[in-house]
Amino acid sequence: MWEAIKNFFNYPIIDWWSAPIEAQEAIPATGTAEAIPAVEATPAELIFQFSFVNIILIIVIYLVAKIFIKYIKRYFKAHHLTDKQLKIEGKEIALWKLTRQLIYLVAFYIFFLTLKINNPHLNLGSIFAYEFFRIPNTEFHIVVYHLFLTVAIVVITRITLNFIKVLILRAGKKNDRIDSGTQYIYVQLIKYFIYSVSAVVLLRSFGMNLDLFLTATTFLLVGVGLGLQTIFRDYFSGILLLLEGTIKVGDVLEIETLNGQENFVAKMVQINLRTSKVETRNEKVLVIPNSKLTHESVINWSAGSRITRFMIPITLHYGVDTDLVKKILVECAEKHPEVLKSRKPMVRLLNFGHNGLELDLVFWAKQNLYIEILKSDIRFDMDRALRENGITIPYPQTDVHLNPRNLETKQSDNRKNLDIE
């Protein structure tokens, strides 16, 4: 019974054997050919074996790693290491992601060591050097170690990025000039640089001649570039946005025209190479090409001072007590909690309009994507306070004055015309 169970678990799923070499006698040299030495016969050798016991070990190691990660996460929460202040780019905590990736890396290494259970004479060099693809007459080839190298480059790249995110976050806490938008720009630029270096290293390990590859694709890129000018323009615009830093993540922007709407206001949430994502006032995420932000007029509400002046226009009847109106409007603005207290609101008389006195209430507040909600609250208070004081807001109307004498003359003319008929 025990032997049957043992044979089942050791049943090979994957067997890699070396190719046998047949014996060959030596061939002496002739006038036209060189001598060929004798070759001894070599039987096929087992290089690598993968069985059911390895699958079971994979599951066990994975479950142990998950349980360990669960307890480590509790430790992080108990010591407040998963605080939201460590959040960058709106993604998961960089420090926690780094720890989790390291645990998985150790688990992978332990599993790799368990392969020697059913491979006591495991030769890692022969496994890694096993070639299963090659393009004829070229140096481009894929061997087993390329698969591990690809995984290692991806893992190391992600770990490096998470380390850099933590360092940039700490630098931002020490330096007030490095805000969240600047942190995002630094992370994006470093991320693209690391990805580019990783891709070059990976392609060179495959034996690809990058000089020849770039030369061969130059003319293709020129042709594609002529047909895809708009897309390339978006890519270059994305690079300019990241390098200049005039628009950052978290900035509130006023775009001249977008989707047929003028003075479109939105908040920047993500900047990529070709497109950017903005959050509208309807809490919807809109994807726009980067060239829209570099080739058209854009007002950055968040540039410079965080405080902005806002206006609420209103029209009142002629003859209204303007001093009372000024007092009411200023009080409505001052009692709102989001209106800046250090700068007193004011009321301006803009014009003597056709329908009444045209005024506006001026106040200062922090830039806010949802500033219209603040204005709406103040308008409600203004309407209530004006009605309580017997002041009404006029609506457009036209007064027509008739002259009675002209009306009587017109009626007499109409009677004469009737008599003649």
In the listed set 272, 300, 328, which residue is the last one of a domain according to the structure?
A: 300
Q: Is the pLDDT of residue 238 over 60?
A: yes
Determine the pLDDT at residue 110.
Answer: 83
Determine the pLDDT at residue 417.
Answer: 56
Alpha-carbon span 131 to 167, nearest angstrom: 41
- Domain identity same for 89 and 192: yes
- Domain identity same for 131 and 6: yes
With a CB cutoff of 8 Å and minimum separation 6, the contacts of 198 are 153, 154, 157
- Domain identity same for 127 and 254: no
Query: Mean pLDDT over residues 51-64, rounded?
Result: 86
Q: How confident is the model at residue 378 (pLDDT cuts 50, 70, 90)?
A: very high
Determine the pLDDT at residue 412.
Answer: 60
Q: Per-residue pLDDT tens for 212-232? A: 666 656 655 665 555 566 777
Measured in degrees and rounded to the nearest 5, phi and psi for residue 399 equal -95, 130
In the listed set 196, 215, 234, which residue is the last one of a domain according to the structure?
A: 215
Determine the pLDDT at residue 379.
Answer: 92
Q: Is residue 220 part of a domain?
A: yes
Determine the pLDDT at residue 416.
Answer: 53
Q: Is the pLDDT of residue 126 over 50?
A: yes
Q: Is the pLDDT of residue 411 over 70?
A: no
Determine the pLDDT at residue 312.
Answer: 92
- Domain identity same for 223 and 260: yes
Q: Is residue 131 part of a domain?
A: yes
300 vs 84, residue with greater confidence: 300
Q: Is residue 403 part of a domain?
A: no
Least confident range of 52-56, 181-185, 319-323: 181-185
Tell if the pTM clears 0.85, that is, is over it. no
Percent of the chain topping pLDDT 70: 71
- Domain identity same for 10 and 155: yes
| Number of domains observed in the structure of the chain | 3
Determine the pLDDT at residue 84.
Answer: 43
- Domain identity same for 198 and 50: yes
- Domain identity same for 54 and 173: yes
Alpha-carbon span 39 to 43, nearest angstrom: 13
- Domain identity same for 175 and 239: no
- Domain identity same for 283 and 316: no
333 vs 248, residue with greater confidence: 333
Q: Is residue 280 part of a domain?
A: yes
Determine the pLDDT at residue 32.
Answer: 67
Measured in degrees and rounded to the nearest 5, phi and psi for residue 30 equal -120, -175
Q: Is residue 394 part of a domain?
A: no
- Domain identity same for 95 and 211: yes
Q: Is residue 411 part of a domain?
A: no
Alpha-carbon span 115 to 101, nearest angstrom: 22
In the listed set 215, 243, 276, which residue is the last one of a domain according to the structure?
A: 215
Query: Mean pLDDT over residues 20-33, rounded?
Result: 70
Residue 205: domain span:
2-23+38-215
CATH of the domain at 378: 3.30.70.100
Q: Is residue 32 part of a domain?
A: no
Alpha-carbon span 154 to 229, nearest angstrom: 32
Q: Is residue 197 part of a domain?
A: yes
151 vs 389, residue with greater confidence: 389
- Domain identity same for 336 and 292: no
With a CB cutoff of 8 Å and minimum separation 6, the contacts of 406 are none
- Domain identity same for 222 and 191: no
